Amino acid sequence: MPHFKDNPAPSPRGEPLRQRVLDAAEALLRSGKADFSMRDLAAEAGVSFATPFNQFGNKAAIMHALSARRIDAMAERFAQAERPVQALDRVLLATATAAQVMLEEPQVNRAVMEWIGTAAPSPGNVLERSSELWRLAIAQDAGKTSATADEDNLPRLLAFGFRGVLSFWTAGELADDALVEHAQDVARAIMAGAARR
């Protein structure tokens, strides 16, 4: 299974504490408290008020870490699936897999998407992580790397496309039952454009 780096990198000793804080953030989001404070988060996690700050720095970083969890889940499920032979079919499978991860907890995932779509004190690495998922989908073998500039750019374009569809879903303009279909339509269009070059 591919593993993507978190930002900032946790120490092995602090990892269980980081996961506890992230689990508490998810619990608050599940209960409809997207506007939770760091004090609320510390109480939910059963840690000192300073712990979420010490582990992450700010709420935006926590939301970026929650996004990383989603991308890791998408990559893990895709890696476990039987991969089709054709690149387009692999991309469509990755798209459906990614959308299904988001649909498992729409309330939590919409809240995470809202946060990672806003300016933060320091930039996250969601684009890099998401692009890696699409690199996996394009590559015929797990270890293969892209050979051309167009192939290197394609994962990024797919990440942009998927994020675009997610933004409309997050805003409530796209129903849950339409997410997979529309995300795959965008992926098809990007792949067709790449094939014409």
Q: Is 2 part of any domain?
A: no
Q: Does pLDDT of 29 surpass 90?
A: yes
CATH number of the domain residue 48 falls in: 1.10.357.10
Domain that includes residue 135, residue range? 15-196
Q: Is 1 part of any domain?
A: no
Q: Is 180 part of any domain?
A: yes
Q: What is the pLDDT of residue 115?
A: 87
Asked whether 51 and 17 are in contact (CB, 8 A), the reply is: yes
Domain count, the chain: 1
Is 149 exposed, middle or buried (CB count within 10 Å of its CB: 0-12, 13-18, 19+)?
A: exposed
- 161-172 in b/e form (b: 16+ CB < 10 A) is bbbebbeebbee
In this structure, the number of other CB atoms found within 10 A of the CB of residue 193 comes to 11
What average pLDDT score do residues 166-179 get? 96
Whether the upstream peptide bond of residue 8 has omega within 30° of 0, thus cis, is yes
Q: Is the model more confident about 105 or about 150?
A: 105
Whose tokens are 């929650």? That residue is 66
Q: Is 82 part of any domain?
A: yes
Q: Is 8 part of any domain?
A: no
Q: What is the pLDDT of residue 194?
A: 86
* DSSP per-residue string spanning 42-101: HHHHTS-THHHHHHHSSHHHHHHHHHHHHHHHHHHHHHHSPPPSSHHHHHHHHHHHHHHH
Whose tokens are 């892209």? That residue is 146
Express each pLDDT in 44-96 by its tens digit: 999 999 999 999 988 988 999 999 999 999 999 999 999 899 999 999 999 99
Say what the pTM is.
Answer: 0.83
Confidence of residue 6 (pLDDT cuts 50, 70, 90): very low
Which residues, at least 6 apart from 52, have a Cβ–Cβ distance to it below 8 Å? Answer: 21, 38, 41, 42, 45, 62
Residues of the chain with pLDDT > 70: what percent? 83
Q: Does pLDDT of 164 surpass 90?
A: yes
